[in-house]
Structures are given as structure tokens and as C-alpha cells.
């Protein structure tokens, strides 16, 4: 818990150089301009990589991309895109695994994540460990459904777990990366994850987004994603 608090402070400590007016401008206009500009800059590099990985994923006969319904800003649903990292009968395997393993069921209830997920394919494990499965979300960014930095996209049933902090999630666009991704991911509790989303909303700025993106890049290089 102490490491979690230190991480939040290190990334989200209010900076003296940014005024409240500047922060408001960035949230209203600058953040979207940055998303578009950064996405266009990355596209020539990412598109060939995405196509190669899509072809590799398709080798097992399933779809290359996977779109899952998520809740966006102001509660608007959208389809969040990823390279498919799960086996075709993923949901059936998940339920069977949870029924047979109480510890895994408890982990799933806590965070909707599993440290040993039976649904993930062999290639999918590599994609997830490197976070390459999330590259197609650049399309969501270009469409204005997501931002490069923001809360982790959630499904409808998860919103109840935010409790009184639900408006903080609904006030911002979900992000490809965010404080949760660079603060321990599965090693922190869901309540801590909610606290990170609230902290980001109240202190977001251009410099903080750059810091989070840089930390995400280092995590990808170090293959620490899960």
C-alpha cells in the first residue's frame, strides 16, 4: 500500500508550472489535439506491425481482432479493439476454471483479472506480456472513443464497483494506458485502481500524460505487462 501511495505521488504530484487554467485547457482541447497528433505520428510504424500480428493470430482459424463492449465517457458504450489473445471457446474455459478453482474465482471477483488465465492462447500470452494486443486501440483513439492516457476501459457491471467514484470514471475517456498500468496493474487492488482513476482526473496535464506514456514504453520494453 505504501508503494502504491508513493507511485501516485510521484506521478501525480501537482506541478507549480501548470496553472489551473492551463490544466482546464488541456482537458477540454489540448488532450484531444495531442491524441490525434500522436496517433497520426505513430500510424506509419504501428500499421505494419498490427498487420503482421493480425496474420499470426489468424493462423489458428479464429478472428484476428477482438472487439469487446466497454463503457466510455458519459456512459456511452463503444467497442474496444484488441488483437485476439484468447482461444475461441474462452468464456466456457473461464467458467470451468473458476468452478474448479476457488482461489481463482476469488481473484476474479477482486479484480476481473487472473494471474493464470486459461483463456489465453500461447501467442496471446506473448501479446499480453508485451502489451502488443492493445495496439489496435489506436483506432479507438482516432475515433475519439479513447485517449492515449486515461482509466482502464471497463464493462458495464464493473461500474458498480466504483461506488461514489463512478462519476470520475464517466467524466473522462478510457485510455490505452494510464496510472493503473504503470502502478502495478494486477498487483494492486480494485479499490486502489479506482483511487488512481480519481487521482488522474484531478491532476491530469500534458506533462503527466507524457510521463505515463514514457513509463508505459519502459514497461513494454521490459515485458512487464500482464
Instruction: Return per-residue pLDDT of the chain as tens, 226 residues.
Output: 444 444 444 444 444 444 455 568 888 889 999 999 999 999 999 999 999 999 999 988 788 999 999 999 999 999 999 999 988 778 888 888 888 888 888 888 887 778 888 888 889 989 988 889 999 999 999 999 999 999 999 999 899 999 999 999 999 999 999 988 888 776 788 889 999 999 999 888 999 999 999 998 887 776 555 4
Q: Would you state the pLDDT for residue 224?
A: 54
Q: Would you state the pLDDT for residue 10?
A: 44
Q: Would you state the pLDDT for residue 104?
A: 86
Q: Would you state the pLDDT for residue 23?
A: 61
pTM of the full predicted structure? 0.79
Q: Would you state the pLDDT for residue 182?
A: 85
Answer for the pair 145, 78: CB distance below 8 angstroms, yes or no: yes
Q: Would you state the pLDDT for residue 223?
A: 59
**Cβ–Cβ contacts within 10 Å for residue 4, how many?**
17
Q: Would you state the pLDDT for residue 15?
A: 41
φ, ψ of residue 14 in degrees (nearest 5): -55, 130
Nearest alpha-carbon partner for 139 in 68, 39, 62, 56: 39
Q: Got the DSSP string for the chain?
A: -HHHHHHHHHHHPPPSSS-HHHHHHIIIIIHHHHHHHHHHHHHHHHHHHHHHHHHHHGGGSS-SEEEEEEE-GGG-EEEEEEE--B-TTHHHHHHHHHHH-HHHHHHHHHHS--SS-TTB-HHHHHHHHTTGGGTTHHHHHHHTS-EEESSPPB-GGGGGGGGGGHHHHHTS--EEE-TTTTTTGGGS-HHHHHHHHHHHHHH--HHHHHHHHHHHHHHHHTT---
Amino acid at each position: 500500500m505504501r508503494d502504491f501511495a508513493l507511485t501516485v505521488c510521484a506521478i501525480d504530484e501537482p506541478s507549480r508550472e501548470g496553472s489551473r487554467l492551463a490544466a482546464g485547457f488541456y482537458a477540454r482541447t489540448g488532450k484531444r489535439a495531442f491524441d490525434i497528433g500522436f496517433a497520426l505520428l505513430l500510424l506509419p510504424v504501428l500499421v505494419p506491425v498490427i498487420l503482421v500480428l493480425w496474420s499470426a493470430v489468424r493462423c489458428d482459424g479464429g478472428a484476428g481482432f477482438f472487439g469487446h463492449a466497454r463503457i466510455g465517457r458519459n456512459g456511452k458504450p463503444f467497442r474496444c479493439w484488441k488483437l485476439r489473445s484468447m482461444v475461441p471457446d474462452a468464456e466456457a474455459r473461464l467458467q470451468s476454471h473458476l468452478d474448479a478453482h476457488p482461489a481463482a474465482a476469488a481473484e476474479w471477483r477482486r479484480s476481473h483479472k487472473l494471474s493464470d488465465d486459461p483463456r489465453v492462447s500461447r501467442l496471446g500470452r506473448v501479446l499480453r506480456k508485451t502489451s502488443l494486443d492493445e495496439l489496435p486501440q489506436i483506432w479507438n483513439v482516432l475515433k475519439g472513443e479513447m485517449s492515449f492516457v486515461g482509466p482502464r476501459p471497463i464493462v458495464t457491471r464493473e461500474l458498480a464497483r466504483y461506488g461514489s467514484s463512478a462519476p470520475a470514471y464517466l467524466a473522462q475517456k478510457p485510455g490505452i494506458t494510464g496510472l493503473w498500468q504503470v502502478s502495478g496493474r494486477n498487483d494492486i487492488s480494485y479499490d486502489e485502481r479506482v483511487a488512481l482513476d480519481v487521482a488522474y482526473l484531478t491532476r491530469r496535464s500534458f506533462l503527466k500524460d507524457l510521463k505515463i506514456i514514457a513509463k508505459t514504453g519502459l514497461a513494454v520494453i521490459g515485458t512487464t505487462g500482464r
